[in-house]
Amino acid sequence: METERLDDIMQAGTGFMADLSSAIRAFVKQGYTENLTLKIDHFECCSGKQKIYTQEFEVDNVVRFENTSDPDDQSILYAISAPKYGIKGLYVEAYGIYQDEQSHDMIEKFKHHRQ
């Protein structure tokens, strides 16, 4: 998937929804190579060697995936950068009961980007 195509997907009303794996591949091509793991009040990456707290990262892009035929197949893909560490990575958040526990600061950071 080309960068332009990813931009089209992220625009509301396009009528096109890529699958999660295609979007991940497109972001990896843009340098988002780290797999970010949520740990209540921070992310961990680099095999747990690096912790990134809310004031150290920015949410660059968000792509929602909603499968109307299977409500359990819904998620949000976040493209996140931490310039202080030279890190660009991805975090996949599930909807509903599968959602990871987050601190108030993390919730506010994501909520602020969604507005």
pLDDT digits (tens, 9 = 90+) for 41-71: 899 998 889 999 999 999 999 888 876 655 5
Is the pLDDT at 106 greater than 90? The verdict is no
Domain that holds residue 47: 3-114
What does the pLDDT read at residue 102? 74
Whether the CA torsion 42, 46, 47, 49 is positive or negative: it is negative
pTM of model > 0.85: no
* pLDDT single digits (tens) 5-53: 555 555 444 445 568 888 899 999 999 999 999 998 899 998 889 999 9
Q: Tell me how many domains the chain contains.
A: 1
Question: What is the H or E stretch that residue 73 is in?
Answer: none
| Interatomic CA distance for residues 88 and 60, integer angstroms | 9
Confidence of residue 105 (pLDDT cuts 50, 70, 90): confident
